[in-house]
Amino acid sequence: MIKLVIFDLDDTLYNEKDFVFGGFFEVCKYLSEKYSISFDEIFKETKKILFENGRGKIFDVLCQSYNIKEDIDTLVSIYRNASPKLILYKDSELVLNALKDKYKLGLITDGMASVQWNKIKLLGIENYFDKIIVTDDYGRAFYKPSESSFLHMLKSFKLNSKEAVYVGDNPNKDFIGARKAGLYTVRIIREVGEHKDVRLSSEYEADFLISNMEELLAFLKGVL
Ligand SMILES: [Mg+2]
């Protein structure tokens, strides 16, 4: 019987682009004021660089294209400390509310600790969870796809692996560790999301696929 439902954060519970674009907004505001560049133009350009090049050296490319000699660390820091308005996906909010009194709830998320805690705070979701593991707080060895964070989570509730399920969106790293730890795994494939078209070999994929968080309720009933 499932007693513990653990969620990934980015692109599982909310649209991570809301945070990314919120960070871009602050960086572009800073650059447009400092260098008298049209905000709309530079904001559009930043998004274009993301779509064309993916994540990585976005601000380097941006400064190059405008011939700006700016300290990239300053821009990265502005990005990381941005406070955009973040909201849960409607179905995530509904499901968290439906589950919070019936199950133990956990959150396991990768990424720089200060940034991930900032997102958690901006979403206002701390109180939904009985335990939150920002893997960065525990060191690199805890980053997904390691099974360490899953084992740590099970241990803190004194549960065995078949009493827990992990819900995530990224088959590159979300499920392989959770599977090694013996948990059930559920992959949410939303209409938007960086990994929606990625299909990997079976050890990387989840046991179950859902396209809406509300299907998780049906999954939980099936196992019970
Ligand atoms: Mg994710």
CA of 168 to the centre of ligand 1 (A): 6
Read off the DSSP letter of residue 101: T
Q: How many helices (H) and strands (E) does the chain have?
A: 9, 6
Cβ contact 46:83 at 8 Å: no
Predicted local distance difference test score (pLDDT) of residue 203:
86
Which H or E element spans position 113?
helix 113-123
What's the rounded mean pLDDT across residues 145-156? Answer: 97
| Residue 223: predicted pLDDT | 61
99-135 per-position pLDDT tens digit? 999 999 999 999 999 999 999 999 999 999 999 999 9
65 CA distance to ligand 1 middle (Å)? 30
DSSP letter, residue 44 = H
Q: Give distance in angstroms: CA of 38 to centre of ligand 1.
A: 33
**From ligand 1's centre to the CA of 8, what distance in Å?**
6
Where b means 16+ CB within 10 Å and e means fewer, 28-46 reads: beebbeeeebeeeebbebb
Taking only the tens place, the pLDDT of each residue in 160-195 is: 999 999 999 999 999 999 999 999 999 999 988 888
Residue 41, helix vs strand vs coil: helix
Separation of 110 CA from ligand 1 center, angstroms? 8
> How far does the centroid of ligand 1 lie from the alpha carbon of residue 12, in Å?
5
The pLDDT of residue 224 is above 70: no
Phi first, then psi, for residue 95 (nearest 5°) are: -70, -40
